[in-house]
């Protein structure tokens, strides 16, 4: 018995609680007091400790992200961003959180009460479940489940249900349009996302996230750029972030599915969205940016590389938000079905073929495969960009200039 | 597939109705099948109030009509008063108000483009770049007359004070910097794939419809009609400056954006020519009394405001305040075709089209 004994995070807490002789070597201070017969207690306490730690870390990281996003977008927009409360405005999200908690909690008369209350909870809770399965370092993970990739993809798709519930239960037309848009979009983008993740699984030969990272001698973002592109775009859509933020679409639907939410229920949606951004970035780092692996000649722990890449990916999402205007619903759907879907199929086809030819590639063969993938990437993106672009967008497009009136 | 039609009230409180505009829109799924604009939420009775005020006091009322373009509102009103009372304006005053009007046009177009891109869903970035340039213009206005938005700078016969010495170097610096900023904006927006695909061939307004609905301003020029009152019916000294008139080729949302952007460049050229031609002198003729008392009669002088043809129809019975004042507001006229333009397009296009029409509710309702 003994779940996750290969996990360093689990081990270090468990061994300081239990008198288990098998972990004498890990014990730094001899504080352990729980006898081996009560091992179930040690396991439970360890689990509770890490649940507590991860939930709080996630919440604090959301506060940090809110601050970071506002600061960074401030820089993008040639203004200062929050800078009043605390050093560099660091306490602004705390003030925001307190404000949100003390707002009046309004429930619309027409709302479906039970679903109305459940929706924000369903938005937040699943996201917490992604953090424990992510390998933050070679041994720094909480649990290494054997179907990690499928688990992550399944958990991230729950939020479309929450959005639909919120939109439906609000009894508001802005909200229902937002909710229906969300379902249409999120379900469509699940498919290219899943297919491009299959490319990652083929390389790793395993669904376990730790093995996905270990298999990345060349980071997947470089090894299979097409899959990375599709996955990045699809996750942006899954996160309802700009340029795919049609479910909220401030300039159209006021706040979309959360128009009628206030106080902490709104706060939970906000929290869920930002936490999903953090979780998705961690997933992208794990799948495509070789997770905790870094240049091996540097004596820097893998956790550092993981966090550095993590922040980088989050910054890319913020950059998207500061730059892109929003796509229209029909354009978003065509992009998913006429663009990303085919691209992800091409990607998985090429990966599968090359892996069939070289099942156990040497480093030269790996470089050769990377070359093939890049040729396919550039070629297919060029073809899809040039030939299908007018069809993707729905309108006729031309390069246009103004003419001038004659005197 | 048959679906249930959904009727929604959009506005008067809504993030992108640019004020208190309300639309009753019927959707079939995401497609608009009917849109009924409902206006009047910002009606303050400016035209009626004008009957109770002296000709100089009314200037402050005009500021608050199109509050993103106060200077041109002043200009339209003052030109009408000058014609009514037979006042010949001082030359330097006219040049000053032309500079002010063109600066105002740049500011108003910056706001129009910025909020159009905001309606497209860009998260405030281009808007803030443009508002930064507008801010510089507002600072120039503050130097000229002490006020930033509700300027009340113009008076019958010219302007009420001369621009201070430090105004001219600041204006020159602005003129030097602005083309570069415009290049930045163009690099960011003009060929942006998303903006192009969202705006091209959406809400097309053809020449005939535009003329029949008496649409004016950049919206008419975007439909390809070469009609600019500064060129067709020059007021002030617009006949002494040369400028080009950018015209659209299709008449869709993208053309309306492009035309406004190029008009900013033309306005910069006009200001540069004004700076060459302006000479020291009185800003207002001495003989113009504070209490203008025109004889009986009426007057209407249309000008090319940033949003289109703006004119004040004033009727005088010989008193110190007009007997009747009516404003020909371009925002209101340009709004009339909104319904026909958006039917058949998606929800998202409704707001983009509304943004590209560039209305100001203060001017629509007055």
pLDDT digits (tens, 9 = 90+) for A84-122: 888 888 888 888 888 888 988 888 887 888 888 888 888
Q: For residue B245, list chain A residues with Cβ-Cβ distance below 8 A.
A: 404-405
Q: Which two tokens stand for residue B58?
A: 């009314």
Measured between CB atoms, which of B193, B226, B348 is closest to A252?
B348
Contacts of residues A151-157 at CB distance under 8 Å and 24 or more positions apart, as own/partner, are A152/A209, A152/A283, A153/A190, A153/A193, A153/A194, A153/A197, A155/A126, A155/A127, A155/A129, A155/A130, A156/A126, A156/A130, A156/A235, A156/A238, A156/A276, A156/A279, A156/A280, A156/A283, A157/A186, A157/A190, A157/A238
Tell me whether A386 touches chain B (CB under 8 Å). no
| Chain A with chain B: Cβ pairs closer than 8 A | 133
Tokens 């498919």 sit at which residue?
A191
pLDDT of residue B40: 85
Identify the pLDDT of residue A393: 61
CB contact under 8 A, B250 and A393: no
Q: Which residues contact B348 (CB under 8 A, 6 or more apart)?
A: A246, A249, A252, A326, A328, A329, B121, B198
Cβ-based contacts of A328 with chain B (< 8 Å)? 198, 346, 348-349
Across the interface, do A331 and B258 touch by the CB < 8 Å criterion? no
Residue A58: pLDDT over 80: yes
pLDDT band at B138 (very low <50, low <70, confident <90, very high): very high
Does residue A247 carry a pLDDT above 60?
yes
Name the residue facing B128 among A78, A321, A393 (closest C-beta). A78
Phi-psi region of A174 (alpha: psi -120 to 50; beta: other; left: phi over 0): alpha
Give the pLDDT band of residue A366 (cuts 50, 70, 90).
confident
What does the pLDDT average to over B57-79? Answer: 89
Contact B63, B73 (CB under 8 A): yes
Average the pLDDT over each of A19-33, B214-228, B248-262 and give the range with the smallest value. A19-33
Q: Looking at beta carbons, which residues of chain A come within 8 Å of B201?
A: 395-397
What region, left, alpha or beta, does residue A354 occupy, with left being phi > 0 and alpha being psi -120 to 50 degrees?
Answer: alpha
Copy the structure tokens of residue A276: 């999903």
CB of B38 within 8 Å of a chain A CB? The answer is no
- pLDDT per residue as tens digits for the range A312-328: 999 999 998 888 888 88
Across chain A, what does the average pLDDT equal?
83
| Closest Cβ–Cβ partner in B121, B221, B245 for A243 | B121
Chain B residues in contact with A392 by the CB 8 A cut-off are: 197
Q: Binning pLDDT at 50, 70 and 90, where does residue A388 land?
A: low
Is B231 within 8 Å of A405 when comparing Cβ atoms?
Answer: yes
Cross-chain Cβ contact A330/B231 below 8 Å? no
Q: Which of B120, B125, B258 sits opposite A402 (nearest CB)?
A: B258
Judge whether residue B266 has pLDDT over 70: yes
Give B25's contacts in chain A (Cβ within 8 Å): none
Is a pLDDT exceeding 70 seen at residue A395? no
Spatial neighbors of B325 by CB under 8 A, at least 6 apart, are B47, B50, B51, B58, B312, B313, B314, B315
Verify whether the Cβ–Cβ distance A395 to B200 is below 8 Å.
yes
User: pLDDT category, A42, cuts 50, 70, 90?
Assistant: confident
* Confidence label for A4 from pLDDT (cuts 50, 70 and 90): low
Collect all residues with Cβ–Cβ distance below 8 Å to A56 and sequence separation of at least 6.
Answer: none
Taking only the tens place, the pLDDT of each residue in A188-207 is 888 999 898 888 888 888 88
Alpha-carbon span A338 to A384, nearest angstrom: 9
Q: Is A242 on the interface with B (CB under 8 A)?
A: yes
- CA distance, residue A181 to nearest chain B CA (Å): 9
- Which of B194, B195, B346 is opposite residue A329, by nearest beta carbon? B346
Is the per-residue pLDDT at A55 higher than 80? yes
Q: 3-state DSSP call for residue B285?
A: coil
- Token pair, residue B332, equals 């209101």
Specify the pTM.
0.85
- Note whether A325 contacts B124, CB cutoff 8 Å: no
How confident is the prediction for chain B on average, in pLDDT?
Answer: 87
pLDDT of A287 higher than 60: yes
Name every chain A residue with its beta carbon within 8 A of the beta carbon of B195.
325
Task: Give the pLDDT of residue A2.
Answer: 46
Statement: residue A29 has pLDDT above 80: no
Is this complex scored with an ipTM above 0.95?
A: no
In the predicted model, what is the mean pLDDT of residues A179-191? 87
Could you give the count of Cα atoms lying within 13 Å of A379 in the half-sphere of its Cβ? 9
- Average pLDDT (A2-12) is 67
CB of A327 less than 8 A from some CB of B: yes
> For residue A1, what pLDDT is reported?
38
Contacts of B248 in chain A (CB under 8 A): 402-403
Averaged over B118-138, what is the pLDDT?
87
Q: How many helices and strands (H and E) does chain A possess?
A: 17, 1
Nearest residue of A to residue B128 by CA position?
A77
The residue count of chain A comes to 407
Contact B128 A77 (CB under 8 A): yes
Mutate to test the interface with B, among A72, A323, A325, A394 (most CBs of B within 10 A): A325
A73 and B CB contact within 8 Å: yes
Which residues numbered 254-293 in A keep a CB inside 8 Å of some CB on B? 254
H or E segment at B299? Answer: strand B297-300
Span A278-295, mean pLDDT?
Answer: 86
Nearest CA in chain B to A175: B8
Tell me which of 1.10.645.10, 3.30.470.10, 1.20.1250.20, 1.20.58.1030 is the CATH number of domain B6-365: 1.10.645.10
A183 pLDDT more than 80: yes
């Amino acid at each position: 018995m003994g779940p996750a004994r290969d996990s360093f995070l689990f081990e270090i807490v468990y061994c300081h609680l239990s008198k288990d002789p098998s972990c004498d070597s890990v014990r730094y201070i001899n504080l352990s007091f729980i006898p081996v017969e009560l091992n179930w207690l040690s396991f439970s306490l360890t689990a509770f400790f890490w649940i507590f730690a991860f939930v709080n870390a996630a919440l604090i990281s959301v506060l940090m992200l809110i601050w970071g996003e506002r600061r960074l977008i401030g820089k993008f927009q040639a203004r200062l961003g929050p800078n009043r409360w605390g050093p560099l405005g660091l306490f602004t999200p705390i003030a925001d959180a307190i404000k949100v908690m003390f707002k009046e909690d309004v429930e619309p008369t027409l709302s479906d009460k039970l679903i109305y209350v459940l929706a924000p909870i369903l938005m937040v809770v699943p996201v917490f479940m992604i953090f424990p399965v992510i390998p933050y370092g070679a041994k720094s993970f909480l649990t290494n489940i054997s179907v990690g990739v499928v688990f992550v993809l399944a958990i991230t798709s729950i939020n479309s249900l929450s959005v639909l519930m919120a939109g439906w239960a609000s009894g508001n037309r802005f909200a229902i349009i937002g909710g229906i848009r969300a379902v249409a979009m999120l379900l469509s983008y699940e498919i290219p996302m899943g297919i491009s993740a299959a490319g990652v699984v083929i390389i790793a030969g395993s669904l376990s996230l730790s093995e996905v990272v270990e298999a990345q001698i060349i980071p997947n973002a470089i090894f299979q750029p097409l899959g990375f592109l599709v996955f990045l775009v699809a996750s942006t859509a899954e996160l309802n972030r700009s340029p795919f933020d049609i479910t909220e679409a401030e300039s159209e639907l006021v706040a979309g599915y959360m128009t009628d939410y206030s106080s902490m229920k709104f706060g939970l949606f906000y929290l869920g969205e930002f936490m999903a951004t953090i979780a998705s970035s961690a997933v992208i780092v794990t799948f495509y940016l070789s997770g905790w692996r870094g240049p091996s000649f540097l004596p820097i722990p893998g956790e550092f590389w993981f966090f550095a890449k993590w922040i980088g990916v989050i910054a890319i999402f913020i950059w998207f938000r500061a730059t892109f205007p929003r796509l229209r619903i029909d354009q978003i759907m065509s992009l998913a079905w006429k663009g990303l879907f085919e691209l992800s199929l091409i990607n998985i086809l090429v990966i599968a073929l090359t892996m069939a030819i070289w099942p156990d590639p040497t480093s030269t063969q790996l470089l050769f495969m990377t070359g093939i993938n890049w040729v396919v990437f550039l070629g297919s993106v060029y073809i899809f960009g040039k030939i299908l672009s007018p069809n993707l967008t729905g309108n006729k497009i031309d390069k246009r200039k103004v003419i001038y009136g004659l005197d | 597939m048959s679906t249930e039609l959904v009727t929604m009230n959009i506005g008067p409180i809504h993030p992108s109705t640019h004020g208190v505009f309300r639309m009753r829109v019927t959707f079939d799924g995401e497609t608009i099948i009917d849109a009924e604009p409902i206006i009047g939420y910002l009606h303050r009775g400016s035209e009626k109030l004008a009957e109770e005020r002296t000709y100089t006091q009314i200037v402050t009322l005009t500021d608050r009509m199109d509050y993103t373009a106060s200077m041109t509102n002043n200009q339209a009103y003052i030109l009408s008063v000058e014609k009514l009372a037979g006042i010949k304006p001082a030359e330097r005053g006219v040049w000053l108000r032309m500079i002010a009007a063109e600066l105002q046009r740049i500011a108003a177009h910056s706001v129009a483009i910025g909020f159009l891109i905001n309606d497209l869903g860009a998260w405030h970035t281009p808007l803030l770049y443009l508002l930064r340039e507008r801010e510089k213009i507002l600072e120039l206005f503050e130097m000229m007359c002490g006020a930033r938005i509700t300027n009340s700078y113009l008076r019958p016969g010219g302007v009420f004070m001369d621009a201070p010495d430090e105004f001219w170097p600041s204006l020159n610096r602005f003129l030097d910097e602005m083309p570069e900023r415009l290049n930045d904006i163009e690099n960011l927006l003009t060929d942006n794939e998303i903006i192009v695909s969202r705006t091209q061939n959406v809400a097309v307004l053809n020449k005939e419809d535009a003329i029949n609905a008496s649409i004016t301003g950049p919206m008419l020029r975007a439909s390809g009609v070469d009609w600019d009152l500064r060129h067709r019916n020059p007021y002030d000294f617009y006949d002494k400056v040369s400028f080009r008139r950018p015209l659209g080729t299709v008449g869709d949302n993208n053309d309306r954006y492009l035309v406004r952007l190029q008009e900013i460049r033309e306005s910069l050229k006009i200001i540069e020519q004004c700076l060459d031609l302006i000479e020291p002198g009185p800003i207002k003729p001495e003989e113009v009394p504070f209490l203008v008392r025109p004889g009986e009669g009426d007057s209407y002088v249309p000008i090319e405001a940033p949003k289109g043809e703006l004119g004040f129809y004033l009727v005088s019975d010989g008193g110190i305040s007009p007997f009747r004042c009516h404003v020909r507001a371009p925002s209101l006229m340009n709004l009339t075709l909104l319904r026909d333009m958006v039917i058949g397009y998606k929800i998202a296009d409704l707001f983009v089209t509304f943004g590209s029409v560039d209305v100001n509710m203060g001017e629509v309702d007055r």
